[in-house]
Amino acid sequence: MSPMPPPKPTTEGPRDRQVLHEMGQIVRALEAHGPTHPDDLRQLVGGQWWEEGRFDRALALAASDGLVHRTDDGSVVAT
């Protein structure tokens, strides 16, 4: 039996359960409050208390997964 090939390199790093939870918090807040500016969204989910960079990463991953998108005025909305 041959060994497994190494995992493909990625720029985003492995997704942990915590970031999936954070993405869910972002989506639920947007579903409850509608379009929200990212700074206000950070406050809604308590992102200012998250580890450095985690809110921005969770928001970026939610956008790349198509869960949220930015509107023309810069707000974020759940899709």
Looking at per-residue pLDDT, the higher value among 42 and 12 belongs to 42
Which tens digit of pLDDT belongs to each residue from 5-29? 665 555 555 678 999 999 999 999 9
Domains by residue range for the chain, with CATH? 17-78 (1.10.10.10)
Report the alpha-carbon distance of residue 70 to residue 38 in Å, rounded. Answer: 9
Q: Is the pLDDT of residue 30 over 80?
A: yes
Phi/psi at 39 (nearest 5 deg)? -65, -40
pTM over 0.85, yes/no: no
Cα 69 to Cα 10, 21, 51, 63, 76: the distances in Å are 23, 18, 23, 6, 6
Query: What pLDDT, on the 0 to 100 scale, is given for residue 15?
Result: 74
Query: What pLDDT, on the 0 to 100 scale, is given for residue 16?
Result: 85
Q: What is the radius of gyration, based on Cα positions, of the chain?
A: 15
